[in-house]
Chain A
């Protein structure tokens, strides 16, 4: 560089004269004005879009993210000229309407051709490296705010809220009715309503801390982990399938979900929770569960479509890992910087690829991750399984056939385009290998393969040999039959639970920025680093994911704690204290209660990152315990209740609506954790996606008790989301979802009115009431209300339901067929007609707005 610069200077000093009669180009006179007018706004001292600046000779010749832009002496080959001309399909520089005049382009061309000389001395304009600082609220350090001195309330939260309300001369709302309160806190902490007995117990408990006791009971419930795991799964874009065309199911995705539920139930501190998911594999003496935690990063989509470029989708997965970490922990949408410097936030494209670099050397692996009790049976059955498997493989002559196939595949890799059928077979090795990277395994010498890798490749061979030799021959060899037998054999012997995790490759490769976000176009090399606008990361040597996790949770990091407490607050009040909970960047809405947000963030951190402690503080505050009753006098003043002068009624999330119906009717199977299940799905739904062509997973309906498990365990297939979930705003699980919508649609109404699961719940509620409640009409309605709504019906409600009861009785009286359809059971305590009418009555209760709302 020094030499070249020297030459350049010499060239400039001698002021090149062109042989074809060009006039001499002088930088200061001819070139600098063009650059100043057109370029320096974005590529100058104040801003270096794409890492490129044109005011400083050294920097200009070095180039930008895409590498050198000016090649002295070679105007045609200089990317700068291509960009100002707008060649190669790229938008011309400068962007927008204005173009360089032809004579200006000619000047630049001549300047570059003659050596692109910059003045030898100091750069043209001031070049103090701009320090990246920001006055934006979210980037300032979290300082524990002083609690306002104001009377009233129950804890510090209330004093922040009351101080603000006092300013506006608004009084807080009174505490909610105790039944409403218990119902609210039960939904918020466990996702389930209180039972009638729990409500009774609370109402009878006159101790001053009766409510706190309920809170502690709920925090200790194993359902707590389910409720708050769901909150985390939204952000982690958890799904049970790959996404994209084939959308294969991921039969072991739940293993990571189990880890989340357990970690939340045991109140794993949020810093450890973070470290294990981001870098569990790199922690000293990492245990299986810490490897399992990295499954967070395996929730990325996988594209198995034939003919795709694997490099592209591996790149997409790494991008997704970086931008998800940014969205989830930092509340910053860094994905924008995939293609260019962020338009609004002080995040450069280089910042983004520096974060990307943390994940660029992570490799996808699947491991044995046995749950307690699995290992013994597996050990006892293993040898026999292996013997039978080997015998089957021998019976169908797999060894010889596979050896030949492998030889051909290796030949194909070296001679692509020569044999089109084998080209396809090779593509399928890359796309369709189950549980591993077939392309990598087949190219390893056989002796280096682990037994697991050997089995993976053999399974692929048996199932996919037809791509090479045609279906007919495959069937003649009976490999289709063998394929079935091998799969069946697997189900007959105990298998170990598997987990999809990441680990660091043995020899890391350098990471590169990608010019304009195009995976094929490497720009400058980048190191794993954190965004310049945030406090620096301290690492010894090349930073690792462990360093990243530590940096996220460091006391000086201004975002992580704020983002986390804000999202927890959002779950409990319907909106965050900072309303744009998904974006803490410079375009976010400012928090309504900035001091409270910071106090909570400091509290969270100082309490050892305990989520349970934080939740306890919030739900025991008077602010949380207020009534959600509308206040007409505030409609104008505070229509969205941002001042928190009351609580808010919130429609339950999709899964919880179903959970609630199953719970109050007594149908719920409350088992915690384990694989996802397939509830009944109407015919025709699965047929709408590619999976129905036989490539996919299918939907084997659960028939046992698992059919009534909680909604969080419903198998989530990305291209075919379960209708109830799609109808009720459950996120699509493609990118991190940091808040859910609560829409209100006729399809939801049809879903609740007519989906068989809600009818089943109505039947069960009717049966429960008829078997257990006092035999009077009023007594039964009251029991149903207590179960479903935790309260007694009003007189008006009793009256209206009696009318309805009479109507249905008349309509159903002589229709035995309808009665049989409505009630599949004969009870001792009621006629079949009565039971049917009670089912119809229960279904009204299960459709009430109040039933699907946490008040």
Chain B
């Protein structure tokens, strides 16, 4: 479908239904008669390809690549090799970024135990998440073709290692439109320093810019340019918008260009966002227990916890796709001191989000995905040989772990296996494109049919790959 067809599929009445509220007494429908292009609100909700299992997605992106063998995939077999190099025939196919195949094995000091009725093995660094073992579907056999951050993040979120393509949230918004009248359909939140891929993670790529993710900011205006300029009160702003609407309407009468009606609609939506935004980020009505459960009262987990609470509030308000990014998992050095810190920032809030969504009855309609762009090596990386405990882990795209929970997910199971040294996948390899196909599937979209023609080619999120992983689906 191209842009023009897209506009055409949205009927004019749909636009009128959604936008007339703000236009007052003017008989806009009369003006619309004979208007130029059959344009309308391209963000109006659109029917999925089939009944969805999840209405919303919260993607908890753990940027930098969390270490699977220290968190999700116990590898006692590494202890035997700790401090030694593996035989070359075992490492010959490894794709490594910084280290060489001769690097020495680093066993994990973590303690794993079984959790939940399903008996899922998880590490002692996840004391809170492990309480939800029965709510999650753990995949230990993820694979990516990329072993560097920016290409890996692009591959995970846009289906291709080089830039320019729309991100997953943009595709979902393009496919399904917006259920939220006062907030954008696709929102991105960030904690920790900036990510490698930056705005590529929420870009509209070659889709029209209305499908781009809107960043919900942690300081200043929650949405860029949301506040009135200094000196303009709310009443002044309303007066400004009323005058603008009336003058635009007069011009619409003269020119008959329906694009002006769309413009009026956009300004009214912007105005509603101006009150919906601050209301969204005002956490004063949340109970102290809630704030504490998300770790907002703790300086380590405050940033991420706040974003997760906002994610819940966004989903409650009909926002379709929430991308929460947390950077800080790229433990090339000193992983045994660094990883516990990152877990402390994230584990408690993550568990709180699952509990909160569940308690409010939102989890069944909300797909929660937790994961990074790839995993880490069993081999150690030592950047400063002269420093004690400097060992970290390099990038490993083959057999890393992620988990899913909520809408349409068969929880309480582990999918996939890796070998005893965490080198390769031995069962159920799941490519990042398979994950994308599955996420779209749970949202009611067929990844093969969700296409957009650009430069003569029908593009899709999954590029030329992807199979829905049936095992994930309930």
Chain A residues at the B interface, C-beta cutoff of 8 Å: 243-245, 247, 301, 303, 305-308, 316, 327, 332-333, 336, 344-345, 416-417, 419-421, 423-424, 427, 470, 580, 582-583, 585, 587-588, 628-633, 635, 639-641, 648-649, 651, 682-693, 718-721, 723, 726-729, 732, 734-735, 738, 741, 743-751, 753-756, 759, 794, 796-797, 800-801, 803-804, 807-808, 811-812, 815, 817-822, 836, 840, 843-844, 847-850, 853, 855
Contact = CB atoms under 8 A, between A and B. Distances in A.
A807 B35 contact: no
Given A732-B164, A820-B231, A635 B34 contact: yes
Contact of A308 (B35, B37, B97, B231): B97
B270 to A, nearest CB: 4
Interface stretch (B133-141, B190-198, B291-299): B190-198
B244 interface: yes
Main SS at interface, chain B: loop
Contacts of A585: 456
A855 B148 contact: no
B246 A800 contact: yes
Interface string B127-149: 00000000000000000000111
A588 B229 contact: no
B394 to A, nearest CB: 8
Interface stretch (B70-78, B105-113, B233-241, B403-411): B233-241
Q: Which 3 A-B pairs have the closest CB atoms?
A: A632-B34, A307-B97, A583-B456
Given A421-B384, A470-B386, A744 B456 contact: no
A92 to B, nearest CB: 15
- Chain B: interface size category: 35 or more
A430 to B, nearest CB: 12
A800 B243 contact: yes
A241 to B, nearest CB: 11
A831 to B, nearest CB: 15
Given A420-B385, A423-B98, A726 B199 contact: yes
B148 A308 contact: yes
B251 interface: yes
B194 A333 contact: no
Contacts of A686: 194
Nearest to B211: A743
B162 A301 contact: yes
Contacts of B42: 743
Given A470-B386, A753-B225, A744 B259 contact: yes
Contacts of A244: 150-151, 163, 196
A583 B453 CA distance: 10
B259 A797 contact: no
A808 B164 contact: no
B255 to A, nearest CB: 6
B257 A420 contact: no
Contacts of B99: 417, 420, 423
Given A421-B385, A689-B199, A751-B225, A822 B232 contact: yes
A420 B231 contact: no
Interface centre among B38, B148, B221 (most CB of A within 10 A): B148
B455 A582 contact: yes
Interface in B179-220: 184, 190, 193-200, 203, 205-206, 208-210, 212, 214-215, 217-220
Contacts of B255: 628-630, 649, 855
A687 B243 contact: no
A729 B209 contact: yes
Interface stretch (B115-123, B260-268, B432-440): B260-268
A687 B383 contact: no
Interface of B: 3-4, 33-38, 42, 96-103, 147-151, 162-164, 184, 190, 193-200, 203, 205-206, 208-210, 212, 214-215, 217-221, 223-233, 235-237, 239-240, 242-244, 246-248, 250-252, 255-257, 259-260, 262-264, 266-267, 269-270, 273-274, 381-387, 394-395, 454-457
Contacts of A684: 217-220
A523 to B, nearest CB: 19
Contacts of B198: 247, 688-691, 719-720
A741 B97 contact: no
Given A424-B383, A582-B454, A745-B210, A688 B250 contact: no
A804 B243 contact: yes
Contact of A750 (B194, B206, B224, B236): B224
A746 B386 contact: no
Contacts of A651: 259
Contacts of A718: 163
Contact of B103 (A417, A635, A840): A417
A419 B384 CA distance: 10
Contact of B248 (A308, A744, A849): A849
Nearest to A630: B256
Contacts of A691: 194, 198
B220 A682 contact: yes
Contact of B267 (A726, A749, A843): A749
Task: Pick the most buried of B212, B215, B243, B266: most chain A CB atoms within 10 A of its CB.
Answer: B243
B209 A743 contact: yes
A753 B333 CA distance: 47
B239 A797 contact: no
Contact of B385 (A332, A419, A685, A844): A419
Nearest to B163: A734
A305 B150 contact: yes
B210 A848 contact: no
A726 B212 contact: yes
A747 B214 contact: yes
A627 B37 CA distance: 16
A855 B251 CA distance: 12
B250 A303 contact: no
B250 A588 contact: no
A727 B82 CA distance: 52
B219 A683 contact: yes
25 contacts: A245-B150, A245-B197, A305-B196, A306-B97, A307-B98, A307-B395, A308-B151, A423-B99, A470-B386, A633-B34, A651-B259, A692-B194, A719-B197, A721-B199, A726-B212, A732-B203, A744-B266, A750-B226, A751-B225, A753-B225, A754-B229, A804-B243, A815-B233, A849-B263, A853-B259
Given A732-B205, A755-B225, A848 B244 contact: yes
A804 B245 CA distance: 12
Given A336-B457, A797-B247, A807-B239, A417 B231 contact: no
A427 B246 contact: no
A637 to B, nearest CB: 12
Given A333-B455, A470-B386, A849-B263, A747 B243 contact: no
A688 B226 CA distance: 18
A307 B381 CA distance: 12
B383 to A, nearest CB: 6
A421 B247 contact: no
B456 A843 contact: no
A745 B41 CA distance: 9
A56 B315 CA distance: 62
Contact of A840 (B196, B232, B273, B386): B232
Nearest to B277: A750
A14 B35 CA distance: 81
A692 B195 CA distance: 9
Given A754-B227, A800-B247, A822-B229, 7 more contacts: A421-B382, A424-B98, A640-B4, A686-B194, A687-B194, A734-B163, A822-B232
A307 B198 CA distance: 19
A583 B206 CA distance: 14
Contacts of A819: 231
A743 B210 contact: yes
B144 to A, nearest CB: 14
A245 B267 contact: no
B199 A749 contact: no
Contacts of B195: 688-690
B209 A629 contact: no
B206 to A, nearest CB: 8
A750 B225 contact: yes
Contacts of A327: 455
